[in-house]
Amino acid sequence: MSEHVFKFLIGELKTVRIICRNDNCGAVMEVPLHRVSSRMDATVTCPACSKEIQHHRSDDKSLSEFADAILEIQKAKKFGIEFAIPIADQKSTQ
């Protein structure tokens, strides 16, 4: 069985896909990483159900902290991070 791997560097991340889980909405939106950062002081609202996903003044700042961490790591001079995502061979899954 052969396996392929999709690899990308953390510096290549420019956009994140956010899935709304308010009342099982399920809408997906693409947002530039820098707009999710806490530095933007932004509230993320779902375009489908119009409910907040994260308010910039809420206690749960996991989304903006995630974006901040990626943006900080992208500035690192002494190391880089590469994600390796396994992709199963189509022949082996049939």
pLDDT band at 92 (very low <50, low <70, confident <90, very high): low
Domain enclosing residue 17, as ranges = 10-78
Sign of CA dihedral 50, 18, 63, 35: negative
Q: Is residue 2 part of a domain?
A: no
d(CA 38, CA 42): 7
Which of 14-28, 52-66, 69-83 is least confident?
Answer: 52-66
pLDDT tens digits along 55-76: 656 666 788 888 899 999 999 9
Q: Which pLDDT score is estimated for 79?
A: 93
Q: Into how many domains does the chain fold?
A: 1
Q: Read off the pTM.
A: 0.70
In the predicted structure, residue 1 carries a pLDDT above the cut 60: no
Cα–Cα distances in Å, from 6 out to 13, 20, 22, 59, 66?
14, 26, 31, 35, 22
Q: What is the mean pLDDT of residues 46-52?
A: 90
Domain-embedded: residue 26: yes
The residue type at 51: K
